C-alpha cells in the first residue's frame, strides 16, 4: 500500500468517532465499505484507462489540511459575495468549504420540496438518505469511495411526487480558508415521480490558498421527472477539483446537464448516467476554456440499460498557452436496449503551439437496432471564416473573438433560463477577452 | 426479428471453413515448452549467426519480465506457453533445386489453397513466398526479381545471405521491448519473408506470402521485414489459413516496414485463419504486431486488411510518419461471427511536418461475436500541418453480437486537424425491401449490401485479393439480416 493511501487509512482511524458513531447503521456500513474499497484499490495510476491522462494521487498526499472539522470562516460570506442576475429570482443555498452555511429562500418553498444540508437530512430523513446515498457510486470509483468514507456534509434536495421547485435554486460553494485545504462533500438530489427542478451549482474560490475538492453528487430521477442542472466552475489556478456526478434515470424522465468550466487549475469531471427506464432522455453538454497550465478533463459514461432511450452529448473546449484538455466519453448500449439513440460529439480548438487536446470517444454496443454516432474534431479556427471577417474590415483579434464566442454559444444556448443564459454568455465573452470571468457587480476577488 | 431471418442466420453461421483440411506432411518438431534452451535450439536449427542469437536471448529475457496485456476488449483464456511447440518444419532432406522436388503432399496442399507455386504455369504475375508451419518452403520468381535488384526470400535465407541488411533494420520499427507478443516473437520466430526494393525500382509484380499452420499443437511465429529504398514502390500481399482443430493455436507475428524517401509500400492482408467452430471451440489466437515507418520525406505506407478468421484477433497495423509530407493509410474490414472476438485498429503517429493519415474501418459483427475498433492518432508537437481523418463504421447483424469503438486522439500541435467519425447501424429493412421488390432474395440482398458497405476498403485491394475477399465476405454473411 502506498504512503499516500496510508494517510487516509490513518485519517479514517483518527476520525472513527465522528464518522461511525452516532450515525445511522446503514451509513456506518457504507463508510466502512467505502474506505475498504479505497484501501484495496488505491489511487489509479497512468496504466488505468479511466485516469490515463489525469493523475491526482500526488495532490492527495501531503500539503493540504485534511481535518474533517473545517476551519472556521472569519468573514461574513454574505458581505463579500453577491450574485444577482437581472430578472432572475432564485433560492440561494450557500456552502462554505463544502459545509452548509445558510439557505436564503424566496418566499415559502412549495409543498413537498425539501432543501437542506446533508448533515440535517441524515438526522431528519435517515431512511431516505440510507435508501439512496452511495447506491450509484458504490465500488465504482476510488475517488467516490474516498468521498463516501469521509464526506459528512453537502446539500440535500428532495422533491416529492408531482411537486415542482417554483424558482430556480442556486447553490454556491465558496472556498475560503487561511491554509491549503482538502474539501470533500456529498450531495443528493432526489426527484420523485413527475417532480421537476431547476438547479445551478456555482463554485468559487475566495482566497488564494490551494484547494483540493473531491465532490460526489448523486441524482435520482424517478418516472417522468425533469431536471435542469448547470454546473458553473470558476476557481483559481491553485485549485484542484475532482467532481463526480451520478445520475439514475427511470422511465420517461428527462435530464439536462450542462457543465461550464471557465477557470480552474486542474478539473476532472466524471459524469455517469444510467438510463434505467424506457423512454428516458438525457442531454449532457460541456464547455471548457483553459489557458496557462490549466488541465481540464471531462469523462462521461452513458449507460443505456433499457430500450427506447435517447442521449446526446456535446463537449467543446478552447485551449491556449500550455493548457491541456481531455474528453473521454463512453456510450454503453446493453444487449436488450433496442431502439436506443445515442449521440456524442467533442470538439477542441488549440490556440497555441503548446496547448494539447486528447479525445477518446468510445462506443460499446451490444444491441443491433440502435442509432449511435460519435464524432470528434480537434483543430483551429477555420481560415475561410477568418478571411470572410477580415475582408469585411473586422480586425484580427475581433474576428477571432467573434468566432470563438459563436463556437461557445452552441453549448450556452442549451441553458433553458434566459437571464441565466445571457449572464453565462457574458461571462464566456469576458473570459475570451482574458478578463476575469465574473459578473460585473460581483465584489469577489477570486482568481 | 422474425424466425425466418433467424434460421437464415443460423444456416449461415453453420457454414464450413473450407480451408480446414490437414495435410499429411512429415513434420519435424522440437519438444513442447518454452525456455532459454528452446530459443537456443531454434537459433541452432537455423544455423544463425551470433547476432541473431543475441537478439533472441535479449528478447526472451525481456519477455519473461512481462505480463500478458489485459487492456484489449477481449476475453483471452490463459495461454499455457509450456504446451506449445515453438518450432515445426516440413521435413526437407536437401536443398531444393526445382519445383518437382517438393514433397507432392505439400504441393497438393498449396494447390488446394489455390496458391500458384508453379511459376511456369500460372499467369497471375504474383511472386509467392509460402510459409508452412514455421518455415518458408518455396519462393517463386526469385531469379526474375533478382535481375532488377529486388531481394525477396525467406527470412532465414536473408539472415545468411544479407546479414548486413537484416542487422541494420531488424527490430528498428518493432523493437523486442515493444509489447508482450512482439517480445515473444522476437525470441522464438522461426521464419518469414524478407524483402528489399533497391533505389528507384518499381516492383513489377505483386509480392505475396501465404502462411499456413498445419501441424498440431504448434504456434506460428513468423517475421516479415520489408524495406523500400528511395523512390521505390512495392505492393505486398499476405494470406493465411489453418486446419480445423479443437484446440486453440497461437499465431504471434511481427511485420516491420521501412519506407525511405519517396518510397511507397502497399501492404494487403486477407486473414482467414480458422475461426473455431460455431460453438466457439478451437481457432487461432492471432496476436500480431505490424508497424511501418515512413522514415524519409514523401514516403507512403498503406495498410489494407480483410479480417475474417481467427478466434481472437489482436492487431493494430500502424504507421510512424516521421518524414515530412509522408502519408499513412489504413483500410480495414473486420468481420466476426459465432464466438469470434476482434480488437483491431491502427496507430498513426504524426512526427514530421504536413504528414497525412486516413483511417477507414468497417466492422461487421454477427452471431455472438464482439468486434472492436481501437485506434490511436497522435500528433506530436513538431508535426506542423498534420491532417487526419478517421471513419469507423460498425454493422450489427443480429442482437446477440457487439460492436465497439475506442478511438484515442492525442493532439499536441495547434495547426493539426484531426477528425474522427463513427456510426453503428444495422442493415435497414428498407434496403432489404428495396432489393426484395426487385426480385433479389433476402440472402443475396444482405451479401450485396455488406459488400457495398465494405466496398471502400475492398477497392484498395489488388485485383486477386479483392475477388477472394468479396467471396469470403459473402460466404460468411449471406442472409444474415439484423
Q: What are A163-180's pLDDT values in tens digits?
A: 999 889 999 888 888 888
Please tell me what DSSP assigns to residue B176. T
What is the pLDDT, as a whole number, of residue A74? 67
- Cα–Cα distance for residue pair B453/B431, rounded to 1 Å: 12
Distances (CA, A) of A203 to A260, A376, B296: 11, 28, 51
Indicate if the alpha-carbon torsion angle A124, A128, A129, A130 is positive or negative: positive
Please tell me what DSSP assigns to residue B76. P
- Over the range A377-410, which residues count as b (16 or more CB within 10 Å of their CB) and which as e? bbbbbeeeebeebeeeeeeeeebbeebbeebbbe
Overall size of chain A counted in residues: 447
Q: In degrees rounded to 5, what are phi and psi of residue B451?
A: -65, -35
What is the pLDDT, as a whole number, of residue A62? 76
What is the pLDDT, as a whole number, of residue B96? 47
What is the pLDDT, as a whole number, of residue A66? 86
* Residue B79 C-alpha, separation from nearest chain A C-alpha, in angstroms: 23
With a cut of 90, say whether residue A308 has pLDDT above it. yes
Q: Which of B400, B401, B407 sits opposite A361 (nearest CB)?
A: B407
Joined together, the cell numbers standing for residue B184 give 515473444
- Cα–Cα distance for residue pair B327/A89, rounded to 1 Å: 58
Q: Which of A351, A363, A378 sits opposite B422 (nearest CB)?
A: A363
- Cα–Cα distance for residue pair A176/A170, rounded to 1 Å: 19
Q: Going along B340-386, which residue ranges are E strands? A: 341-344, 347-350, 356-366, 370-379
Residue with cell 518444419: B89
* Residue A44 C-alpha, separation from nearest chain B C-alpha, in angstroms: 15
Angle at alpha carbon of residue B235, lines to B231 and B237, rounded to 5°: 155
Contact status of A35 with chain B (Cβ, < 8 Å): no
Domain ranges of chain B: 18-431
* Alpha carbon B14 to its chain's center: 25
Is B48 in contact with B290 (CB distance < 8 Å)? no
B423: which chain A residues are within 8 Å (Cβ-Cβ)? 372-373
Joined together, the cell numbers standing for residue A132 give 439512496
Q: What is the pLDDT of residues A387-443, one digit of tens each?
A: 999 999 999 989 999 999 999 999 999 988 888 888 889 888 888 887 655 555 555
Please tell me what DSSP assigns to residue A20. H
A354: which chain B residues are within 8 Å (Cβ-Cβ)? 381, 412
B426: which chain A residues are within 8 Å (Cβ-Cβ)? 368-370
Question: Taking CB atoms and an 8 Å cut-off, how many pairs form between chains A and B?
Answer: 114
Mean of per-residue pLDDT scores for chain A: 88
Q: What is the predicted ipTM?
A: 0.73
Domain ranges of chain A: 44-432
Q: Which of A65, A64, A47 is nearest to A55 (CA)?
A: A47
pLDDT mean values, one per 10 residues, chain B (482 residues): 48 57 70 84 86 91 88 84 79 50 62 54 54 63 83 87 91 90 89 89 84 70 91 86 72 92 91 79 87 94 88 92 94 88 93 94 88 92 91 86 88 88 82 90 81 84 74 60 42
With a cut of 70, say whether residue A49 has pLDDT above it. yes
Overall size of chain B counted in residues: 482
* Alpha carbon B295 to its chain's center: 22
A358: which chain B residues are within 8 Å (Cβ-Cβ)? 408-411
Percent of chain A with pLDDT over 90: 53
What is the pLDDT, as a whole number, of residue B422? 83
- Over the range B297-322, which residues count as b (16 or more CB within 10 Å of their CB) and which as e? bbbbbbbbbbbbbbbbbbbbbbbbbb
What is the pLDDT, as a whole number, of residue B339? 87
- Cα–Cα distance for residue pair A387/A394, rounded to 1 Å: 10
- Cα–Cα distance for residue pair B107/B130, rounded to 1 Å: 11
With a cut of 90, say whether residue A63 has pLDDT above it. no
Q: What is the pLDDT of residues A187-205, one digit of tens each?
A: 999 999 999 999 999 888 8
* Alpha carbon B472 to its chain's center: 15
Joined together, the cell numbers standing for residue A235 give 476557481
Determine whether the interchain pair B403/A363 forms a contact, defined as Cβ–Cβ distance below 8 Å: yes
What is the pLDDT, as a whole number, of residue A222? 95
Residue with cell 541494420: B168
What is the pLDDT, as a whole number, of residue A128? 92
Indicate if the alpha-carbon torsion angle B139, B140, B143, B146 is positive or negative: negative
* Residue A354 C-alpha, separation from nearest chain B C-alpha, in angstroms: 7
- Cα–Cα distance for residue pair B42/B49, rounded to 1 Å: 12
Determine whether the interchain pair A356/B412 forms a contact, defined as Cβ–Cβ distance below 8 Å: yes
- Cα–Cα distance for residue pair B368/B403, rounded to 1 Å: 11
What is the pLDDT, as a whole number, of residue B120? 39
* β-bridge pairing B88-90 and B27-29: antiparallel
Could you give the angle at which helices B3-13 and B442-458 cross, rounded to 10 degrees? Answer: 50
Determine whether the interchain pair B422/A373 forms a contact, defined as Cβ–Cβ distance below 8 Å: yes
What is the pLDDT, as a whole number, of residue A56? 87
Determine whether the interchain pair A354/B381 forms a contact, defined as Cβ–Cβ distance below 8 Å: yes
What is the pLDDT, as a whole number, of residue B122? 41
* 3-class secondary structure, B1: coil
Q: Quickly count helices (H) and strands (E) in chain A.
A: 10, 19
Q: Which of A314, A251, A253, A260 is nearest to A282 (CA)?
A: A253
Amino acid at each position: 500500500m502506498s504512503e499516500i493511501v496510508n494517510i487516509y487509512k490513518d485519517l479514517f482511524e483518527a476520525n472513527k468517532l465522528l464518522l461511525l458513531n452516532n450515525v445511522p447503521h446503514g451509513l456506518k456500513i457504507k463508510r466502512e465499505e467505502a474506505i475498504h474499497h479505497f484501501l484495496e484499490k488505491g489511487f489509479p495510476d497512468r496504466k488505468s484507462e479511466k485516469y490515463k491522462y489525469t493523475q491526482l494521487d500526488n495532490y492527495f498526499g501531503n500539503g493540504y489540511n485534511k481535518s474533517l472539522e473545517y476551519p472556521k470562516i472569519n468573514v461574513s460570506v454574505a458581505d463579500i459575495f453577491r450574485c444577482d442576475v437581472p430578472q432572475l429570482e432564485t433560492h440561494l443555498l450557500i456552502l462554505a468549504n463544502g459545509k452548509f452555511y445558510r439557505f436564503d429562500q424566496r418566499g415559502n418553498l412549495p409543498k413537498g420540496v425539501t432543501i437542506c444540508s446533508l448533515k440535517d437530512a441524515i438526522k431528519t430523513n435517515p431512511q431516505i438518505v440510507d435508501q439512496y446515498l452511495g447506491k450509484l457510486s458504490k465500488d465504482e470509483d476510488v475517488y467516490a469511495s474516498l468521498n463516501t468514507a469521509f464526506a459528512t456534509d453537502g446539500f440535500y434536495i428532495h422533491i416529492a411526487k408531482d411537486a415542482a421547485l417554483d424558482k430556480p435554486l442556486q447553490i454556491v460553494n465558496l472556498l475560503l480558508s487561511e491554509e491549503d485545504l482538502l474539501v470533500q462533500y456529498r450531495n443528493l438530489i432526489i426527484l420523485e415521480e413527475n417532480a421537476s427542478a431547476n438547479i445551478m451549482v456555482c463554485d468559487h474560490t475566495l482566497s488564494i490558498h490551494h484547494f483540493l475538492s473531491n465532490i460526489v453528487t448523486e441524482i435520482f430521477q424517478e418516472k417522468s421527472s425533469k431536471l435542469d442542472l448547470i454546473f458553473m466552475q470558476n476557481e483559481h489556478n491553485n485549485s484542484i477539483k475532482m467532481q463526480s456526478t451520478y445520475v439514475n434515470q427511470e422511465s420517461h424522465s428527462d435530464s439536462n446537464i450542462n457543465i461550464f468550466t471557465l477557470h480552474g487549475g486542474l478539473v476532472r469531471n466524471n459524469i455517469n448516467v444510467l438510463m434505467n427506464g424506457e423512454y428516458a432522455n438525457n442531454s449532457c453538454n460541456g464547455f471548457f476554456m483553459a489557458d496557462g497550465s490549466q488541465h481540464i478533463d471531462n469523462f462521461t459514461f452513458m449507460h443505456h440499460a433499457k430500450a427506447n432511450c435517447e442521449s446526446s452529448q456535446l463537449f467543446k473546449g478552447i485551449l491556449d498557452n500550455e493548457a491541456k484538455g481531455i474528453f473521454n466519453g463512453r456510450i454503453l448500449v446493453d444487449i436488450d436496449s433496442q431502439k436506443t439513440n445515442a449521440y456524442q460529439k467533442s470538439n477542441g480548438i488549440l490556440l497555441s503551439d503548446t496547448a494539447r487536446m486528447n479525445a477518446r470517444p468510445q462506443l460499446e454496443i451490444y444491441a443491433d437496432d440502435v442509432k449511435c454516432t460519435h464524432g470528434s474534431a480537434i483543430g483551429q479556427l477555420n481560415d475561410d471564416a477568418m478571411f470572410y471577417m477580415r475582408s469585411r474590415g473586422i480586425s484580427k483579434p475581433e474576428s477571432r473573438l467573434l468566432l470563438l464566442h459563436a463556437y461557445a454559444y452552441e453549448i450556452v444556448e442549451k441553458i433553458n433560463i434566459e437571464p441565466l443564459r445571457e449572464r453565462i454568455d457574458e461571462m464566456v465573452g469576458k473570459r475570451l477577452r482574458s478578463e476575469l470571468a465574473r459578473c460585473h457587480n460581483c465584489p469577489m476577488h477570486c482568481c | 426479428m422474425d424466425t425466418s431471418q433467424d434460421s437464415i442466420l443460423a444456416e449461415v453461421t453453420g457454414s464450413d471453413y473450407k480451408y480446414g483440411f490437414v495435410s499429411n506432411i512429415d513434420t519435424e518438431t522440437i519438444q513442447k515448452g518454452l525456455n532459454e534452451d528452446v530459443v537456443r535450439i531454434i537459433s541452432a536449427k537455423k544455423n544463425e549467426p551470433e547476432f541473431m542469437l543475441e537478439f533472441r536471448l535479449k528478447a526472451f529475457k525481456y519477455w519473461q519480465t512481462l505480463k500478458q496485456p489485459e487492456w484489449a476488449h477481449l476475453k483471452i483464456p490463459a495461454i499455457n506457453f509450456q504446451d506449445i511447440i515453438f518450432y515445426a518444419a516440413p521435413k526437407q532432406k536437401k536443398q531444393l533445386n526445382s519445383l518437382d522436388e517438393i514433397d507432392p503432399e505439400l504441393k497438393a496442399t498449396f494447390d488446394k489453397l489455390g496458391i500458384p507455386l508453379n511459376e511456369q504455369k500460372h499467369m497471375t504475375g504474383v511472386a509467392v513466398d509460402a510459409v508452412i508451419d514455421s518455415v518458408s518452403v518455396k519462393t517463386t520468381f526469385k531469379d526474375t526479381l533478382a535481375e532488377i535488384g529486388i531481394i525477396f526470400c525467406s527470412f532465414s535465407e536473408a539472415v545468411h545471405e544479407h546479414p548486413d541488411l537484416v542487422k541494420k533494420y531488424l527490430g528498428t520499427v518493432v523493437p523486442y521491448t515493444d509489447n508482450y507478443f512482439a517480445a515473444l516473437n522476437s525470441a522464438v520466430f522461426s521464419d518469414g519473408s524478407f524483402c528489399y526494393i533497391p533505389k528507384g525500382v518499381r516492383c513489377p509484380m505483386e509480392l505475396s506470402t501465404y502462411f499456413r499452420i498445419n501441424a498440431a499443437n504448434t504456434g506460428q511465429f513468423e517475421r516479415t521485414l520489408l524495406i523500400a529504398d528511395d523512390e521505390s514502390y512495392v505492393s505486398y500481399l499476405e494470406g493465411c489459413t489453418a486446419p480445423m482443430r479443437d484446440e486453440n493455436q497461437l499465431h504471434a507475428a511481427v511485420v516491420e516496414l521501412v519506407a525511405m524517401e519517396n518510397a511507397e509500400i502497399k501492404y494487403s492482408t486477407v486473414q482467414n485463419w480458422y475461426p473455431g467452430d460455431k460453438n466457439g471451440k478451437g481457432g487461432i489466437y492471432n496476436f500480431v504486431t505490424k508497424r511501418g515507418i515512413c522514415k524519409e520525406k514523401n514516403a507512403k505506407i498503406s495498410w489494407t486488411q480483410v479480417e475474417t478468421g481467427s478466434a481472437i484477433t489482436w492487431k493494430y497495423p500502424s504507421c510512424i510518419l516521421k518524414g515530412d509530407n509522408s502519408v499513412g493509410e489504413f483500410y480495414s474490414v473486420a468481420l466476426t461471427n459465432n464466438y469470434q472476438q476482434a480488437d483491431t485498429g491502427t496507430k498513426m503517429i504524426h512526427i514530421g511536418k504536413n504528414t497525412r493519415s486516413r483511417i477507414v474501418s468497417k466492422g461487421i459483427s454477427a452471431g455472438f461475436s464482439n468486434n472492436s475498433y481501437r485506434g490511436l492518432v497522435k500528433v506530436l508537437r513538431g508535426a506542423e500541418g498534420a491532417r487526419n481523418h478517421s471513419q469507423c463504421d460498425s454493422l450489427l447483424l443480429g442482437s446477440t453480437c457487439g460492436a465497439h469503438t475506442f478511438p484515442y486522439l492525442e493532439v499536441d500541435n495547434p495547426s493539426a486537424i484531426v477528425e474522427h467519425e463513427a456510426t453503428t447501424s444495422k442493415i435497414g429493412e428498407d434496403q432489404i425491401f428495396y432489393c426484395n421488390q426487385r426480385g433479389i432474395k433476402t440472402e443475396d440482398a444482405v451479401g450485396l449490401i455488406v459488400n457495398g458497405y465494405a466496398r471502400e476498403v475492398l477497392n484498395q485491394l489488388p485485383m486477386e485479393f479483392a475477388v477472394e475477399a468479396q467471396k469470403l465476405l459473402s460466404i460468411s454473411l449471406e442472409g444474415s439480416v439484423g
